[in-house]
Amino acid sequence: MLIRDLTTPALLVDAADLEHNLATMSAALPGPRLRPHVKAHKCTALAKRQAAHGHRTFTCATIREMEGMAGVGLGDDLLLANEVVDATRLGRIRNARITVAVDSEATIDAAARGGVREVLIDVNVGLPRCGCATEDAGRLADLARRKGLNVRGVMGYEGHVVGLDQRSTRTQLCEQSMQLLLQAHALVGGDVVSAGGTGTYDCNTWANEIQAGSYALMDTAYAKLDLPFRRALCVLATVISVSPAYAVADCGLKALGMDHGNPSVDGATVLFCSDEHITFVPESPTHVGDRIRVWPAHIDPTVAYHDRLHIVEAERIVDTWPVDLRGW
């Protein structure tokens, strides 16, 4: 099958660029130094490729991702890096090592009631999202142990840092965040200090495992950081209307993650996206029926809009992988 035979919009993954990204990360963070975050691609076939490169511990964002990874034999060590108030489904997962993040008495209670046996204390290291205060981490760890849970260590996400343009600033602020996490770890104990993302994978030298995910496919937000990873994923779209000043293709808000801004189109200026359309100004003559490649600014929500990834070499589709970890 050729790319031209696809119904658009469709996700394309360049096979060579994907392999480059997986190999580059494997060399930088071998084995358990990386805990790939599957929320970025939601695809067990891609996770199997990551495992083949030596990464067999995984981070998940949803219970559905945890269930799906365990179901295909990738359950050596799964971390749900997100709080839940009902852990019953997690407790029912078999043939997998399950760990869940907790940051409060309520989420510790949920883990214990749900049958989860292992937790990480989630610490707020600067991103105003989940996580307990550094000084409260020890108390929560003690509570979890009293409830019969194994506290493996701590996690914290410097999400407010990972996308900053200047590497020196990323490194400086990452260190500040990790000092908070290490202070919590001193109170909590355990073997795990889990943190990081694609933007800090190489400058976060304080965590002993990094939760990067976007590196495998990349997007324009991370591409501007001069990382050694290639943009491997785009959305194939078809030009459906051409006017004297602009053109329109069939790829809009329902096919793209837009929270990091507009996507890009090589050789064109993107004006805006609407529900099913992208309006752009091409630099060269463009005709109805032409195919364009749209580069998303944010991989994670973009992939979650689609049912499958088409793996391509030049104009040929060599494989199709279901995006089988969608849902909750």
CATH number at residue 278: 2.40.37.20
The full length of the chain comes to 328
Mean pLDDT by 10 residues, the chain (328 residues): 96 98 98 98 98 98 98 98 98 96 98 98 97 98 98 98 96 98 98 98 98 98 96 98 98 96 97 98 97 98 98 98 97
Are both 210 and 315 inside the same structural domain?
A: no
Rg of the chain over Cα atoms, rounded to whole angstroms, equals 21
What's the rounded Cα separation, in Å, for the pair 211 and 201?
Answer: 8
* pLDDT score recorded for residue 105: 98
Q: Which domain holds residue 307?
A: 3-11+229-322
Residue 190 lies in a domain: yes
User: Does residue 197 share a domain with residue 78?
Assistant: yes
Same domain, 246 and 128: no
292 occurs within a structural domain:
yes
Backbone angles phi, psi at 121, to 5 degrees: -80, 120
Q: Which of 217, 250, 268 is the last residue of a domain?
A: 217
Residue 27 has a pLDDT of: 98
Q: Are residues 30 and 117 located together in one domain of the fold? A: yes
Burial class (CB in 10 A: 0-12, 13-18, 19+), 146: exposed
Q: What local confidence, expressed as pLDDT, does residue 17 receive?
A: 98
Q: How high is the pLDDT of residue 102?
A: 98
pLDDT of residue 93: 97
Same domain, yes or no, for 205 and 247? no
Residues 252 and 273 in one domain: yes
Residue 128 covered by a domain: yes
Verify that 251 and 184 share a domain, yes or no. no
Same structural domain, 201 and 298: no
Is there a domain that residue 66 lies in? yes
Please indicate, yes or no, if residue 276 is contained in any of the structural domains: yes
The confidence score (pLDDT) of residue 192 equals: 98
For residues 210 and 126, state if they share a domain: yes
Q: Is 254 a member of any domain?
A: yes
pLDDT at 124: 98
The Cα–Cα gap between 131 and 149 comes to 18
Q: Is the peptide bond before 9 cis (omega within 30 degrees of 0)?
A: yes
**Strands of the chain, DSSP E:** 10-14, 57-60, 77-80, 98-102, 118-122, 150-155, 192-195, 209-210, 233-242, 247-249, 264-265, 268-273, 278-282, 291-295, 308-313, 316-322
Residue 184 lies in a domain: yes
Residues 247 and 158 grouped into a single domain: no
With respect to residue 328, please indicate whether it lies within any of the assigned structural domains.
no
pLDDT at 163: 96
Structural domains of the chain, count:
2
- The last residue of one of the domains, among 176, 197, 217, is 217
DSSP three-state, residue 187? helix
pLDDT of residue 245: 96
Contact residues for 128 (Cβ-Cβ < 8 A; gap 6+): none
Token representation of residue 72: 């295909």
Give the CATH number of the domain where residue 82 resides. 3.20.20.10
**From CA 31, how far away is CA 40, in angstroms rounded?**
19
Query: What per-residue confidence (pLDDT) applies to 164?
Result: 96
Please report the pLDDT score of residue 313 as a whole number: 98
Where is the domain boundary, 182, 217, 252? Answer: 217
CA distance 89 to 47: 21
Q: So what's the pLDDT on residue 139?
A: 98
List all residues 6 or more positions away from 18 whose beta carbon is below 8 Å from its beta carbon. Answer: 46, 49, 216, 217, 232, 311
181 and 93 within one domain: yes
Same structural domain, 161 and 261? no
Asked whether the beta carbons of 286 and 239 are under 8 A apart, the reply is yes
